[in-house]
Amino acid sequence: MSEPEDLPVLLIEDNPDHVELIRRAFSDRETPVALSVARHGEEALDYLFRRGEYRDPGRSPRPRLILLDLRLPRVDGLEVLGEIKSSPELRAIPTVVLTTSESEHDMTRACALHANSYLVKPVEFDRFEALIGSLESYWLGLNRQPGDGGRRAV
Amino acid sequence: MNAGVRSLRTRLAVVLATIVAVVLLANAAWLVLSARQRLRGRLETSASLFASLATGPVCSAYDAYFESGYFKFRQVVRDLLATAADVTRLEIVDVEGRVLFDSARLDDGASGGASLGRLDPVRREAARRLEPTTLRGRNAEGDSLDIVTPWVEDWGRHRLSVVYHVSYGKLNAEYRRYARATLALTAVSIVLAALFGLALARRLTRPLARLTDGAREIAQGRFGGRLDVRTGDELQTVAEAFNEMAARLQTTRAERERLIGELERRNAELERFTYTVSHDLRSPLVTVRGFVDLLEKDVAAAASERAAADFARIRGATSTMEKLLRELLELSRVGRVMNPPERVSLDELAQQATALLHERLRAAHVRVDVQPGLGFVLGDRTRLLEVFQNLIENAVKFRSGQGEPVVEVGSRLGPDGPVVTVRDNGVGIDPRYHDRVFALFERLDPRVEGTGVGLALVKRIVEVHGGRVWVESEGAGQGSTFCFSLPAAP
């Protein structure tokens, strides 16, 4: 799975079932994705700022895309988002909120913190798959970002 | 001190000084005017008396000496005039009004008598009468008074009258001195009254200024200050009423703040609840549906191994959902549905909780030590049992992988009475998260099963019983001690 051309994606998600669903949805797509999972906000920040067990940059490649759940243990998803977007090094990384919360408050806050997109997890798996598919083709396919090096998915 | 009170003080002083000034001035005017009246009256009386006494000797002397011994006559007139300071001049006239002698021309001698002329008609008329006549008029020096007195000889013969000219000059001078002294005294009194008025006004308004300052304090939200006004009058009553009001306001505000705090806590909890309904309850649903859909595909592809795993996930998600709903219901019942309070032995409860958890404790190889002497409280037995159950369960969940897991239930004496402690040698909690562990749906470790309701439930139960709950832990790997204190039963 971790071949050199796999695109690194960081998934910040505490529910292992959802991790599995997202993993499977990605596995059906054509873009090879190297999915790293952080199970709480603190772990996500350790990964992104290369602290603790992620001190080795080999273990924490810069993700091309961050998928962020909001309700996380320890450090809340919105806090993680704030940290990412206030770091000059990280703020260019597309950060997509992927959550079950449809709360107006969360959307407003996420928007204010410059989330690149706000997506609500659909209940039906077909739509879940379609959503991951759109995510992949847009953010990993069409979207260009600084530091791409001209490398693009199919 | 402030402008409002200052102007009130000035007004009061001005009013006081004005009243005093008006009274004193009226008094002075009355004194001066009545003195003038009195002095004139006295002058006129003495002049009349002089006139009636002097007329006889003057006229006799005129008859006897005017022609033959003017020197003697002149002496008599001089002596007489010297006895009456206010009578400046006298004239001797006959009944026809011809002036026979004028003391103003005393030194002219007897020869000048013929050229002295006649009196004016009014005086001529008075000279004819047999009674003394007083004539008031005005001349160049101001008010004038002439007294015309007839000289009635024996058998009623009336040949001569004497006209006395009375001067007010001396009287006026005396009167002016008196008036000046009175006015000076009045002016001094007014100044003194004004100063006294100012002092009095200051004295009267000082407590008022304190009242004002106190009111301003309250207006700015500081209810702590009290006014100490002991004037023994209405101002003290006002100050006392004021203090009472401040005390009431203070109580009201404290009560309001308590209610607001309570409301804010409830609101935050409600917000969390809403959040959970929109997120946490949705989450297992996403899992269930996701894996059911996947299963369909798996079954179609006959991938039976994956199918079994998917089934497990579905089961897990549904039971998570069920547990969430049950615990939410439980939490909502605390404080709403209560058993009647009874005297409960905490020792008994701890033992009972351990017994109820027996299976789980054995499976996890956790030993629970209960030290006796936890005391008694008044409360809902079932709920308090849940406190022990949840705390012990929590300790079991967060046991560390190393060493023999031990939970110790004991007590110690805190500053507010006995504190029950549930100590474990588990994973411990970073001090940063000590407050968050009791929040509803807060889960610090996603790897540990649970819904994040247990400790919230403990907190709710303890608080409903009027107690307090907190956690002590040095950090990760150091174990944790959950502590709670409850009001002791009598």
The CATH number given to whatever domain includes residue A76 is: 3.40.50.2300
Q: How confident is the model at residue A81 (pLDDT cuts 50, 70, 90)?
A: very high
Q: Between A and B, how many residue pairs show a Cβ–Cβ distance under 8 A? A: 77
In a domain, A44, yes or no: yes
**Across the interface, which of A101, A126, A128 has its CB nearest the CB of B279?**
A101
Residues of A in contact with B294 (CB under 8 A): 21, 24, 125
In a domain, A152, yes or no: no
Q: How near does any CA of chain B get to the CA of A146, in Å?
A: 34
Residue B119 near residue B97, CB atoms below 8 Å: yes
Provide the 3-class DSSP secondary structure of residue B456. helix
In a domain, A83, yes or no: yes
> What is d(CA B35, CA B29) in angstroms, rounded to the nearest whole number?
10
Contact: A100, B294; criterion CB under 8 Å: no
Contact: A17, B291; criterion CB under 8 Å: yes
Query: What percent of chain A is predicted at pLDDT more than 90?
Result: 41
Q: How confident is the model at residue A126 (pLDDT cuts 50, 70, 90)?
A: confident
> What is d(CA B414, CA B394) in angstroms, rounded to the nearest whole number?
23
**Across the interface, which of A14, A17, A101 has its CB nearest the CB of B275?**
A101
How far is CA B429 from its chain centroid?
54
Q: How confident is the model at residue A33 (pLDDT cuts 50, 70, 90)?
A: confident
Q: Does pLDDT of A116 surpass 90?
A: yes
In a domain, A153, yes or no: no
Question: Residues of chain B whose pLDDT is less than 50?
Answer: 1
Closest chain B residue by Cα to residue A70: B279
Q: Which amino acid is at A90?
A: L
pLDDT, position A1: 42
In a domain, A95, yes or no: yes
pLDDT, position B82: 86
A104 touches B: beta carbon within 8 Å? no
In a domain, A63, yes or no: yes
Tell me which residue range forms the domain holding A134. 7-141
Contact: B289, A125; criterion CB under 8 Å: yes
Beta bridge partners of A96: A67, A117
**Across the interface, which of A24, A102, A123 has its CB nearest the CB of B294?**
A24
Q: Which amino acid is at B107?
A: D
* Cα–Cα nearest to B287, from A131, A18, A8, A146: A18
Contact: B293, A124; criterion CB under 8 Å: yes
Residue B402 near residue B470, CB atoms below 8 Å: no
Query: Spelled out in words, what is the top-level CATH class assigned to the domain B3-175?
Result: alpha beta
ipTM of the complex: 0.75
Residue B440 near residue B273, CB atoms below 8 Å: yes
pLDDT, position B244: 86
Residues of B in contact with A71 (CB under 8 A): 275, 279-280, 441
Regarding pTM above 0.90, the answer is no
Q: What is the 3-state secondary structure (H, E, C) of chain A?
A: CCCCCCEEEEEECCCHHHHHHHHHHHHCCCCCEEEEEECCHHHHHHHHCCCHHHCCCCCCCCCCEEEECCCCCCCCHHHHHHHHHCCCCCCCCCEEEEECCCCHHHHHHHHHCCCCEEEECCCCHHHHHHHHHHHHHHHHHHCCCCCCCCCCCC
Q: How many domains does chain A have?
A: 1
CATH of domain B337-485: 3.30.565.10
In a domain, A1, yes or no: no
pLDDT, position A6: 82
pLDDT, position A9: 92
In a domain, A2, yes or no: no
- Over residues A89-113, the pLDDT tens digits come to 898 999 999 998 887 888 899 999 9
**Across the interface, which of B279, B290, B291 has its CB nearest the CB of A99?**
B279
Residues of A in contact with B284 (CB under 8 A): 17
- Over residues A16-32, the pLDDT tens digits come to 889 999 998 888 787 78
Q: Does pLDDT of A153 surpass 70?
A: no
Neighbours of A37 (CB within 10 A): 18
